[in-house]
Amino acid sequence: MDLCTCPQCEKCFTSRSKLKHHMNVHSGKYACGECGKNFSSGQALRVHSRTHSGEKPFACEICSKRFRQIGMLTAHNRSHSGEKPYKCHVCDKAFSQSTTLTSHMRVHTGDRPHNCPACSRSFHTSGQLRQHKRDTHTNATRDKPRPYVCTVCEKRYVRKQSLTIHQTLHNRDWCTCPQCDKRFTSRSLLGRHMNIHSRKYGCAECGKNFSTSQALTLHGRLHSGEKPFECEICSKRFAQSGNLVAHRRTHTGQKPFQCHMCDRAFSQSSDLKRHIRVHTREETHACPACDKTFYDSYKLVRHKSRVHGNVRPHHCPYCGARFHTRRELRFHLAVHTDTKPFSCSRCSDCFRTRYQLKRHLLESHSHGTWHACDICHKKFLDGCQLRTHLLSHQDVKPYVCSDCPRRFYAAQNLKSHQAVHSDYKPFICGLCNGLFKTKGGVKEHFKKCCTLWEFN
């Protein structure tokens, strides 16, 4: 077939009539009076103008939600009916919209057609590209003032339109689960959540319930050990593609999620959300056994395990040390196995921790930015360390022990000191199960214990 090519943008069409239709975009025949955007037809311009006027003539008969286009309403109706007519022929996953299936197919093909003009990265969808450009390359956006403030939660925005969209979260009628009081923005999301209570998608191995079959399939890999996604740099494998994407950033050092309140950046959006609660003081996870609250669920689980229970189910096969979580054991095992999963992208060196890799990149390759003290010129890896250090020059010790007059520059130093006043002994000997208050104490004991075991 002979394709017809646009002389201005080189886009190809199957017929001259379609090319002629497209040329209206370049001629400016159908231009929006509000934002100047051009369209190929009067119909497309009229639909677009509704984004400015707010007109939504198509209403859902079930939940009364309104839409600008009839196609949007058709797709929305499937959220009530559960219909998913677009099915992936590779993994049998189904979707309610053809565009979602098209984006999903790129996971299998590896196609990333959306390229960032500022760097070499490419993306499956245009939305991912927009998010990347906002998070990585638009420093000016982060530095802009945020004059638009939500009167309910005091969250701030650069644009009035962003505030308006945010306020709909406070004004809408929430759909509440009758069993656990969890709230959802739509009936379809609530219906999906109810699958957890009805045990529609229950794991046959451990009995845990999920809201979708996809979530159950992903969970099943924990039991089967299946990890279909492999890192092309270090060959580490993962159960989910999202985990692989996040892992790749340990090699590149990329941290696209930056806090707008301070200079800290993160490789994952979930880490940024947890960090934001440090500024907002939002502690949503409360311990049922005491009055203590936490920023995230992981810290609550760790607190309950360490403070209200002394169970250490994770056992080191090399030295017998016991740990509360698999994560703690995994970090500990690196001491015995000499595993170094963090590799430098500039040379062949590998490291046990991300912190060591970051220091190496700064010291050996000048990749990144040191945070230097203006008074003594001492350098630090991140702004948090620098802010703690500056307190030593100001002779400010904000962390006060509740049991004695001693004060400390850092929260970690206070936490270590409080072991003196407490009977809590978080460190256990893997040979004799003896408990100790400090890591140094258990290390010293372990040397003697090993000698006794060898003698016996």
pLDDT, tens digit (0-9, with 9 covering 90-100), for 300-348: 777 776 666 666 777 787 776 777 777 778 777 877 777 787 788 888 8
What pairing do the DSSP bridges indicate for beta strands 114-115 and 257-258?
Answer: unpaired
Listed range (149-153, 256-260, 376-380) with the worst mean pLDDT: 256-260
Average pLDDT in the 267-296 region?
72
Structure confidence by residue, pLDDT tens digits, 64-110: 888 888 888 888 888 888 888 888 887 778 888 888 888 888 777 76
Q: Give the H/E segment covering residue 408.
A: strand 407-408
Cβ neighbours of residue 47 closer than 8 Å, sequence gap 6 or more: 68, 69
- Tell me which of 172 and 152 has the higher pLDDT: 152
Q: How far apart are CA 54 and CA 176, in angstroms?
A: 28
Instruction: Give the C-alpha separation, 372 to 386, whole Å.
Output: 7
d(CA 163, CA 248) in angstroms, rounded, equals 34
Measured distance CA(219)–CA(225) in Å, rounded: 10
CA distance 110 to 43: 35
Residue % of the chain over a pLDDT of 70: 87
Q: What digits encode the pLDDT tens for the residues 182-224?
A: 878 778 888 889 999 998 899 888 888 998 888 898 888 888 8
Q: pLDDT tens, 113-143?
A: 777 777 667 777 777 787 777 656 655 444 5
Instruction: Tell me 280's DSSP state.
Output: H
**CB of 96 closer than 8 Å to CB of 83:** yes
Using a 10 angstrom Cβ sphere, with 0-12 exposed, 13-18 middle and 19 or more buried, the burial of residue 430 is buried
The structure tokens listed for 195 are 């699958």
User: Within 10 Å of residue 39's Cβ, how many Cβ atoms?
Assistant: 19
Beta strands in 243-387 (DSSP E): 257-258, 265-266, 285-286, 293-294, 314-315, 322-323, 342-343, 350-351, 371-372, 379-380
| Residue given tokens 């990585």 in the structure block | 136
Answer yes or no: is pLDDT of 238 > 50.
yes
Pair 240, 229: CB distance under 8 Å: yes
Place of tokens 């054991």: 329
173 touches 187 (CB < 8 A): no
- 407's tokens: 């004060």
Q: What are phi and psi of 382, to 5 degrees?
A: -140, 165
Residue 383 tokens read as: 């702004």
CA 395 to chain CA mean position, Å: 37
Residue with tokens 């502690």: 283
Alpha helices by DSSP H, listed for 283-352, are: 297-307, 326-337
Long-range contacts of 67-73 (CB under 8 A, 24+ apart): none
Instruction: Give strand pairing partners of 38.
Output: 31
| Separation CA 389–CA 386 (nearest Å) | 5
SS3 content of the chain, % helix, strand, coil (to 5): 45, 15, 40
Could you tell me the pTM of the whole model? Answer: 0.37
Q: What's residue 311's pLDDT?
A: 67
Among 155, 161, 158, smallest CA distance to 138 is for 158
Helices 187-198 and 70-81 pack at an angle, to 10 degrees, of: 20
Residue 431 in this model has a pLDDT that exceeds 70: no
* Identity of residue 157: Y
Q: What is the pLDDT of residue 140?
A: 46
The Cα 72–Cα 419 span in angstroms is 59
Angle at 152 between CA 151 and CA 156, to 5 degrees: 60
